[in-house]
Amino acid sequence: MSENDRFYITTPIYYVNDVPHIGHAYTTVAADILARYWRLRGREVFFLTGLDEHGQKVQQAAAKAGIDPQTHCDKLAPQFENLWKKLNIANDAFIRTTDTQHKQVVQQYLQELFDKQLIYKADYSGWYCTFDERFWTEKDVADGLCPDCKRSVEKLSEHNYFFKMGQYQDRLIDHIKTHDRFIRPESRRNEVLGFLQTQKLSDLSISRPKSRLSWGIELPFDTNYVTYVWFDALVNYVSALEYLPREKSAGHDFWPANVHLVGKDILTTHAVYWSTMLMALNLPLPETIFAHGWWTVDGEKMSKSRGNVVDPNKMVETYGVDAFRYFLLREVPFGQDGDFSQAAMVTSINSDLANGIGNLLSRTLTMIERFADGKIPASGPPALPELEEKIAQAATQLPTTLEQGFSTLTFRDNLQAIGELVSLCDEYIDKAAPWKLAKNPEDALKLKTVLNHSARALRLLAVSLYPFMPQTMEQLTRQLGYHVDFSKALPASAYQWDSPVAELTIAKGAPLFPRIEGLSGTVRIKGELETKLIKGAKPVSDTPITPQPVPVITATTPPATSASAETPAAAPPPPASPQITIDEFMKVQLRTAKILSAERVPKSEKLIKLQVSLGTEQRQIVAGIGKKYEPDVLVGKTIVIVANLKPAKLMGIESQGMVLAAGDTDVRGLLTTHEEVDPGTKVK
């Protein structure tokens, strides 16, 4: 098996005492998407996840429960395994650090390093954090608190064994500099380099005395000590290849890993601890360590004490597994921090999925049933040549875009490219108006072209979206009559725009993504969409309208005064727009702001009170957008505001800025940014 034929991807092994939350789901779903894509493209994939089950916190929790640590771990492990099944995670192996074979590999590597004289025993005194199971130096600790978790630390002095990590500092710096893909994204690479180039790398304590901690893997050269939990845990990426692949090729054919996916909080342990351990063991370093961001919830840090921990089980039960998977990778660029809100998720489901791919399938199959007796027709002469050419170009480019995106882990870019093809197809159907073509026998062949092009696009979209939403895309292909085995590598023709679909018999079924009611004031039912389509009208869509070039500042715009006259006079020509200088314009400070909360102003149909974040500060703004938007759908949006406007009161409520929206008399849409932008960013 050549290097290019295999793909090895890992998640961190999750701490067994944790309650699975959105962060665990995020990493594992991302890994699953990558694994599914590369399997479809013909690579032999090994996808590893699992649990870290040793350490002081496990020992303490088991003692508190009155059971032994192994029993404690056995009771907790299923909460992760069951969640992965619910999230449709297709991992190849699930490792537990209490596996006998894993322990043997850890001891083998410890003995090898000891024999090389890369492990030595010494006295140590320092500040110890039980929660992180980590020593800190005097300069790290402020006010007696751990610099990571902010919990109290205790002073410990003891004999321990140390790994000579410091001697690999220069070699590690050189590796990072000469391998651009080693640590990603770029900001994290710079972070690790900055750390290594500004301070001396110390040696790593890799043992704990049994007198203090007995729940761990014994050192093979001193049974009075157990292995430091991080040395134990990191070895899992190699030990799993020794005994878990079973029917696959020999384990080390998969090493080095192509991608280690980790949260940014454990980047140092992977980029420094793990890398130097591999160097000492003469093993190649992984191709990429990718550290993604954290999730906040409605603008606040997620924590048990706040009671805002997002349970992936409940999200799947409420919204469906594929909608949840889609939202996680669509909401923010992978690598950046993201904010989770159910309102934002509902908006994403309704606009991107129900009104997007779901509506496109429903429209296309309805027309094929009505106008082609349920069979996809062969293509005829062009119906709209320019638009058909745009669709062909987008569809032809899409596979290349996807491969690039999956190679660089830019999941959101892939989903945007897929969404653009969906939008082009919707535009095509609207402008081609097949319901009109069906009325004219001379347009019969053009009608076939429209139906064929729409069905071909859906086939390609199903293949492209499968890694993100496997269950739903299997439903789509069944309804389209396109029989494909997603459990095997797909032929190259599956990604080609010209692959034929003619003569496939469709089997229209239930909507892929029924609209979610309750959090949006602009709900449309599926039956209404179909009725309007059959009558020939354009389907109603709640997709946000693209703002017009001239913004309407809605925060303090007074209501228009209605004029009355028996005989209306001819409308006067519109006055010329007053011109301003660039200096005058530069006085206006436009900045992005993220909406944290929204509520209607009592006794006002138009006004909504917003609490927005500008990154370094929070403000209250009263905006006249209540006729267009329900408060719930606004939460989580990034908007544009006038940030240096003098505060004013509207209906007795202070407004500390103005919201920008588009429209002539009525608000048609808020001004937002196409890309993810941090709150408080200047708009130029």
User: Contact at 8 Å (CB) between 613 and 593?
Assistant: yes
Q: Is 295 contained in some domain?
A: no
Task: Read off the pLDDT of each residue in 606-625 and give the average, rounded to a whole number.
Answer: 86
pLDDT tops 60 at residue 524: no
3-class DSSP state for residue 7?
strand
Chosen domain end from 221, 255, 289 = 255
Q: How confident is the model at residue 681 (pLDDT cuts 50, 70, 90)?
A: confident
CATH of the domain at 403: 1.10.730.10
**Are 595 and 528 members of one domain?**
no
Q: How confident is the model at residue 474 (pLDDT cuts 50, 70, 90)?
A: very high
> Closest Cα partner for 435 from 534, 344, 522, 523?
534
**Are 508 and 654 members of one domain?**
no
Q: How confident is the model at residue 518 (pLDDT cuts 50, 70, 90)?
A: low
pLDDT tens digit sequence for 199-251: 999 999 999 999 989 999 999 999 999 999 999 999 999 999 999 875 555 55
User: Contact at 8 Å (CB) between 331 and 373?
Assistant: no
CATH of the domain at 160: 3.40.50.620
Q: How confident is the model at residue 432 (pLDDT cuts 50, 70, 90)?
A: very high
**Residues of the chain above pLDDT 70, percent:** 88
**Are 392 and 420 members of one domain?**
yes
Residue 57's domain spans which residues? 3-164+203-255
What mean pLDDT is reported for the chain?
A: 86
**Are 131 and 225 members of one domain?**
yes
Ranges of H-type helices in 567-672: 582-586, 631-634
User: Contact at 8 Å (CB) between 589 and 644?
Assistant: yes
CATH of the domain at 643: 2.40.50.140
Beta bridge partners of 375: 505
pLDDT tops 90 at residue 541: no
Q: What integer pLDDT is reported at residue 606 of this predicted model? A: 85
pLDDT tops 80 at residue 532: no
Q: Is 441 contained in some domain?
A: yes
- Point out the least confidently predicted range of 20-34, 79-93, 133-147: 133-147
pLDDT tops 50 at residue 549: no
Chosen domain end from 465, 500, 535 = 535
**Are 250 and 353 members of one domain?**
no
Q: Is 285 contained in some domain?
A: no
CA atoms of 240 and 94, how far apart (whole Å): 9
Beta bridge partners of 263: 292
pTM (two decimals):
0.75
Q: What integer pLDDT is reported at residue 141 of this predicted model? A: 80
Q: Is 62 contained in some domain?
A: yes
Q: How confident is the model at residue 51 (pLDDT cuts 50, 70, 90)?
A: very high
Q: How far apart are the first and last CA of the chain?
A: 52
Tokens in use for 261?
């996916």
pLDDT tops 70 at residue 163: yes
Q: How far is CA 526 from CA 168, 506, 605, in A?
A: 62, 19, 28
Q: What integer pLDDT is reported at residue 148 of this predicted model? A: 74
pLDDT tops 70 at residue 528: no
**Are 453 and 502 members of one domain?**
yes
Beta bridge partners of 534: none
Q: What integer pLDDT is reported at residue 4 of this predicted model? A: 75
**Are 517 and 391 members of one domain?**
yes
Return the higher-pLDDT residue of 16 and 153.
16
Q: What integer pLDDT is reported at residue 663 of this predicted model? A: 79
pLDDT tens digit sequence for 356-401: 999 999 999 999 999 999 999 999 999 999 999 999 999 999 999 9
Q: What integer pLDDT is reported at residue 246 of this predicted model? A: 58
**Are 355 and 488 members of one domain?**
yes
**Are 367 and 238 members of one domain?**
no
Q: Residue with structure tokens 């944290």? A: 596
**Residues of the chain above pLDDT 90, percent:** 67
**Are 513 and 622 members of one domain?**
no
Q: Is 452 contained in some domain?
A: yes
Q: What integer pLDDT is reported at residue 589 of this predicted model? A: 86
Q: How far is CA 273 from CA 24, 165, 556, in A?
A: 22, 7, 57
Q: Is 319 contained in some domain?
A: no
Q: Which residues of 371-383 are buried (b: 16+ CB within 10 A; e: fewer)?
A: bbeeebbebbeeb
Q: What integer pLDDT is reported at residue 563 of this predicted model? A: 32
CA dihedral 477, 480, 484, 486 (to 10 degrees): -10
Q: Is 419 contained in some domain?
A: yes
pLDDT tens digit sequence for 485-509: 999 999 999 999 999 999 999 999 9
**Are 527 and 595 members of one domain?**
no
Q: How confident is the model at residue 74 (pLDDT cuts 50, 70, 90)?
A: very high
Q: What integer pLDDT is reported at residue 577 of this predicted model? A: 53
- Point out the least confidently predicted range of 268-277, 501-510, 674-683: 674-683
CA atoms of 519 and 632, how far apart (whole Å): 6
Per the structure, the count of domains in the chain is 3
pLDDT tops 60 at residue 261: yes
**Are 99 and 137 members of one domain?**
yes
Q: Is 195 contained in some domain?
A: no
Task: Read off the pLDDT of each residue in 512-541 and give the average, rounded to a whole number.
Answer: 42
Residues whose CB is less than 8 angstroms from the CB of residue 147 and which lie 6 or more positions away in sequence, other chains included: 136, 140, 141
